[in-house]
Amino acid sequence: MAGPGVVAGDEENVLSGSKVQPFATPMEQRRIMKDTGRHQPTSPAEILGLKEFFSLEVWRASLAELVGMAVLVFALDTIVISSYESGTKTPNLIMSFLIAVTVTILLLATSPVSGGHINPVITFAAALSGLISLSRAAIYILAQCAGAVLGALALKAVVNSKIEQAFSLGGCTLNIVVPGPEGPVTVGLELAQALWLEIICTFVFLFASIWIAIDHRQAKALGRLVIFGIIGAVVGLIVFISTTVTGTKGYAGVGMNPARCLGPAIVRGGHLWSGHWVFWVGPAIACVAFYLYMKIIPTTYFHHAEDRKYDVLNILKASFA
């Protein structure tokens, strides 16, 4: 598969670079792969990748993350609203399928520019495992959050106040207040349950899909379109399971994307801030768990170890050696 500016016959170059795995920009990742064997970061500035704060290429890549996240928030939230407003008997199923398709398309659209993160979970996991620097991760996450706000603002501009109030702009909710026989009551999911769902579902997401994207063997065998299709399918499946199994009114389903939850919370406010930390803490714990899992797996079974220039544990070992 050839990307823009890449010769179709150069299969190894395409499939072993960032065009298949969603963790790096094309040119810089290839440069990193060449330099990794010769030099490991030792100074604090190198370890944190501070020079990337002044890299025009990184900021241009972050623009793709911003636009991609804005489109993602607008698309996903309209899908949520449309699925339930259509009156169909299986809104969860339709919603999950459309989300899977949307995620796949947006990954394909952003991967040649930024690596196709459009999710702080992917960015944080990439930073922990050393595929990108902490500085690049910070820039990407900032762009993703800004994009989420823009997407929520765009949605607010096109829906009426009744829809906005009924669906909370499609934001991430743990509970809502509804009228009861003795006054308003709060219905939804308990904090502990929601936290565990975020941890488990995000880990499954990383394990079942992102793992494929960063393993050179599987990336080469499957190709970019199939890999992004798998990622989209896994996201859709987890959304369907989380909204169906719980079956709790007031719970909007697992987030797995903190920035997507942040956008509507900033724009809409109110009860969207109730338990909002769950949508950040849960995925963060899952990323750390996934990173530890990656460290346990022997390099014979994981063909991406040579690219992890900024790996947190490796850098700490080198610093104290």
Check residue 178 and report its DSSP letter: E
Rounded to an integer, the average pLDDT of 153-159 is 93
**Residue 180 binned pLDDT confidence (cut-offs 50, 70, 90):** low
| 122: pLDDT strictly greater than 60 | yes
The mean of the pLDDT values for the chain is 79
Q: Which residue has the higher pLDDT, 13 or 201?
A: 201
What value does the mean pLDDT take over residues 237-255? Answer: 82
The answer as to whether 67 is a domain residue is yes
pLDDT at 44: 65
| Residue in 263, 227, 297 with CA at minimum distance from that of residue 23 | 227
What pLDDT score was predicted for residue 90? 83
Which tens digit of pLDDT belongs to each residue from 67-79?
Answer: 999 999 999 989 9
Give the range among 88-92, 213-217, 289-293 with minimum mean pLDDT: 213-217
Q: Which domain holds residue 233?
A: 19-26+43-312
**pLDDT, tens digit, for every residue of 97-114?**
999 999 999 999 998 898
Look at residue 38 and tell me if it is in a domain. Answer: no
318 domain-assigned: no
Specify the pLDDT at position 304.
Answer: 54
Domain count along the chain:
1
| Residue 104 structure tokens | 């796949």
Q: Does 37 fall in a domain?
A: no
Nearest to 172 by CA among 29, 66, 268, 62: 268
pLDDT value at position 321?
A: 60
179 has pLDDT over 70? no
Per DSSP, the three-state class of 278 is helix
Residues 24 and 118: beta-carbon distance below 8 Å: no
* Predicted pLDDT at 266: 95
Return the minimum-mean-pLDDT range out of 35-44, 190-199, 234-243, 261-270. 35-44
Q: What's the average model confidence in pLDDT over 18-45?
A: 50
Within-domain flag for 34: no
**Is the separation of the CB atoms in 207 and 288 below 8 Å?**
no
What percent of the chain has pLDDT above 90? 37
Q: Which two tokens stand for residue 157?
A: 């501009």
Task: Please tell me the predicted confidence (pLDDT) of residue 169.
Answer: 83
Residue 162 sits in a domain of what CATH number? 1.20.1080.10
33 in any annotated domain? no
Could you tell me if residue 95 is inside a domain?
yes
Q: Confirm whether pTM is higher than 0.85.
A: no
Residue 249 falls within a domain, yes or no? yes
